[in-house]
Amino acid sequence: MNQYYVYIMTNKSKTLYIGVTSNLSKRIYEHKQKLVPGFTSKYNINKLVYYEATSDIKAAINREKQLKGWLRSKKIALIESVNPEWRDLSL
């Protein structure tokens, strides 16, 4: 059974990035090493602060879209509900 992850990453200034992947550890490594050109490398997005797992890829994609549509304050409340110190969950 495959696992899919919706995740939120950030940087020192708490810029948020939301993504979806089937291999969370590999994807986080790619972001941290700036192997992915674009938003995350440009803004030094390098800290995993939230993630959810599901076995349904459609559910993961829909959840990603839902989170991206939320106000920033609601995203922050979601992160802080499980990770109030904004620790890097990938360590």
- Per the listing, tokens 């829909």 go with 62
Q: What is the pLDDT of residue 36?
A: 83
Domain range 4-82, CATH architecture: 3-Layer(aba) Sandwich (3.40)
**Where exactly are the structural domains of the chain?**
4-82
Per-residue pLDDT reduced to its tens digit, 38-91: 999 999 999 999 999 999 999 999 999 999 999 999 999 999 999 999 999 997
What pTM did the predictor assign? 0.96
Q: What is the mean pLDDT of residues 11-39?
A: 96
Report the pLDDT value the prediction gives residue 72, as an integer from 0 to 100: 98
Q: Residue 26: enclosing H or E segment and its boundaries? A: helix 24-32
Residue 30 has pLDDT above 90, yes or no: yes
* Structure token pair of residue 78: 């979601």
pLDDT at residue 25 is higher than 80: yes
